Amino acid sequence: MTQQEFRIDVGQGKVSYWYGYAGDEPEEGSANVDLPMDTLTLQTAKLLEGWLNVWDRLGLTDLSIRKSLLKSATFKLVGKHLWMLILNNEIGAKLQEKIETMPAPPLRVVINFEHASSDLRGLPWEFLCTPETEIFLAAETKLLLTRLAPQAAIPGRRVDYATDELGVLFVTALPGMQMYQHVNDRIRNFQAALDAQPGLAVLDLIDKLDVDRIEAALSDDERPCHVVHITGLCRGDPGQAQLWMESGSQGLDWRDPKPLVDALTPTDGKVPRLVVLQLCETEEGDADENFERLAPELIRRGIPAVLAMQYTLPAADQGRLWTEFYKDLASGTTVGRAVQSRRHRMLHGRDLNRDFGTPVLYLHEDGALIRQGEPTARSSTDPGAGSAASTAREAVANNPAEAIRRALQRRLAEVANLYGDEAVTATRTWLKDVKLAGTVPDARQQIRGHLRTFGSNQEIAELCVELSDTLKQLEGGPGRAAA
């Protein structure tokens, strides 16, 4: 999918932006804009961040206390302060303009803190909120909010796509104490339920931080591993993460995560396409756990996507969240869309929750993890690997009508969670039954006919734009196509 990108680069006292189609020359941009640090705004944002850290520990037993202490306006307040820190300038005005006028597909908003101060890097940017329209960037379906970390291609390192089933490995890096046993039991139950879902293959649970078993799982070609989902405890300053884990005769303590990072990114070996870092809920201890602090290093070491939790999620909600997330991935939804749709559901699913701002997505390379029917998987770092668009164009040449249908069906599956059931069902039925002529111009005319039939339905109109954009890719041209 050709996707427009608005990248914000935050440095020491400066901020700039880049706007255009990913991988092309920029259409717009700016040189460095001064970023005067408002100390009071920064201190207030940090204070609100401390409040969010203890959010789930306040008023747990008494609903009236909970309602009096936990105000949903807190999210908007912290989000507006974050906006004031880096976007109270012409760049913020330009971003708001793009948000208000952007048609489908969603605009990818990328924030790069590589050269920013640690004070800024450590803030919860997933709560960014526009000051006037009060839009949360992390939960807006017209957007995709991610963070950026640099990545260098490492010779000999493979990053394979799934071809039939998505292999998922669960690891629990927890202290060997009775109080955490229920976490392992819950994950085993979840694994069994997830393994029954079509398109998913769940590997055996690794219930200790056994780096040898992790490396063996990643290198097993008989049962491929494409996603590693780790549940554990993490703390530390940005860029200096520590994991709570066992370390031989030294017992339980906070340790350097290097052995885990090395196991996930072996030299001359396979690397997962996605790593999920999930914080385990605790009964006591430091409220400042944050798995986001480990994510940039994994991206730098060659993993295309890392989804890290900056807060814990309620145990009661985790099964539903992760089941839907992995079902999305198995159906061909891109990582970015799967994360953004979950954030949207968490924000609008119930009151008084910080959960929508919990997932932090670092995305060096977006796309679907599974490419069904492909004879071989290709490495994302392999210079000879073709793009999804070029692969699709080859398929059009070989079997035009069905290739176009499959491309449109894949696109519909990617965006299904962002639209209502009525619009998606009507479009899915039309795609199944329509007799495609076999050329891209004819298919575009047929999409226009579908649009005329359901012209009063705004969501179907947006879906038609999504499908037309896919046709533009098959032609190999840049830019968007109007249905």
Sorted by sequence, the CB contacts under 8 Å of residue 204 that are 6+ apart come out as none
Confidence of residue 382 (pLDDT cuts 50, 70, 90): very low
Cβ atoms of 344 and 332 closer than 8 Å: no
Cβ atoms of 445 and 361 closer than 8 Å: no
- Convert the pLDDT of each residue in 154-208 to its tens digit: 777 788 888 888 999 999 877 767 777 778 788 888 888 888 888 899 999 987 7
Cα separation, 37 vs 48, whole angstroms: 17
Q: What percent of the chain is modeled with pLDDT above 90?
A: 20
Q: In the predicted model, what is the mean pLDDT of residues 9-14?
A: 91
- Convert the pLDDT of each residue in 25-37 to its tens digit: 788 888 789 988 8
- pLDDT at 125 exceeding the cut of 80: yes
Residue with the two structure tokens 């999504």: 466
Tokens (6 digits) for 265: 């990114």
Tokens (6 digits) for 481: 């196509």
Q: What is the pLDDT of residue 23?
A: 67
Q: Which amino acid is at 150?
A: P
Q: Which amino acid is at 349?
A: G
Q: What is the pLDDT of residue 58?
A: 63
Cα separation, 367 vs 414, whole angstroms: 10
Please report which helix (H) or strand (E) contains residue 67, including its range.
Answer: helix 63-69
Q: What percent of the chain is modeled with pLDDT above 70?
A: 78
Radius of gyration in angstroms for the set of CA atoms belonging to the chain, rounded to a whole number: 22
Please report which helix (H) or strand (E) contains residue 43, including its range.
Answer: helix 39-53
Q: Which regions of 75-183 does DSSP assign to beta strands (E)?
A: 107-112, 143-148, 166-173
The angle formed by the CA atoms of residues 399, 401 and 404, to the nearest 5 degrees, is: 95
CATH number (2.50.20, 1.10.3470, 3.30.420, 3.30.450) of 4-148 reads 3.30.420
Tokens (6 digits) for 225: 């591993």
Q: What is the pLDDT of residue 476?
A: 52
- pLDDT at 16 exceeding the cut of 80: yes
Confidence of residue 434 (pLDDT cuts 50, 70, 90): confident
- Convert the pLDDT of each residue in 278-334 to its tens digit: 888 665 444 455 676 788 889 988 899 999 988 877 666 667 778 889 999 998 888
- pLDDT at 393 exceeding the cut of 90: no
Q: In the predicted model, what is the mean pLDDT of residues 51-68?
A: 64
Q: What is the pLDDT of residue 3?
A: 75
Cβ atoms of 143 and 137 closer than 8 Å: yes
The phi and psi torsions of 170 (rounded to 5 degrees) equal: -100, 135
Sorted by sequence, the CB contacts under 8 Å of residue 121 that are 6+ apart come out as 113, 238, 239
Q: In the predicted model, what is the mean pLDDT of residues 36-41?
A: 87
Confidence of residue 274 (pLDDT cuts 50, 70, 90): very high
Cα separation, 274 vs 227, whole angstroms: 5
Look at residues 343, 416, 352 and name the one whose alpha carbon lies nearest to residue 65. 352
Look at residues 92, 244, 127, 78 and name the one whose alpha carbon lies nearest to residue 176. 244
Pinpoint the residues of the chain covered by CATH 3.30.420.
Answer: 4-148
Residue 9: count other Cβ atoms within 10 Å of its Cβ: 21
Secondary-structure class of domain 166-363 per CATH:
alpha beta
Pinpoint the residues of the chain covered by CATH 3.40.50.720.
Answer: 166-363
Q: What is the pLDDT of residue 481?
A: 32
Cβ atoms of 244 and 253 closer than 8 Å: yes
Higher pLDDT, 360 or 267: 360
The phi and psi torsions of 148 (rounded to 5 degrees) equal: -120, 135
- pLDDT at 435 exceeding the cut of 80: yes
Cα separation, 305 vs 328, whole angstroms: 16
Per-residue DSSP letter, 370: B
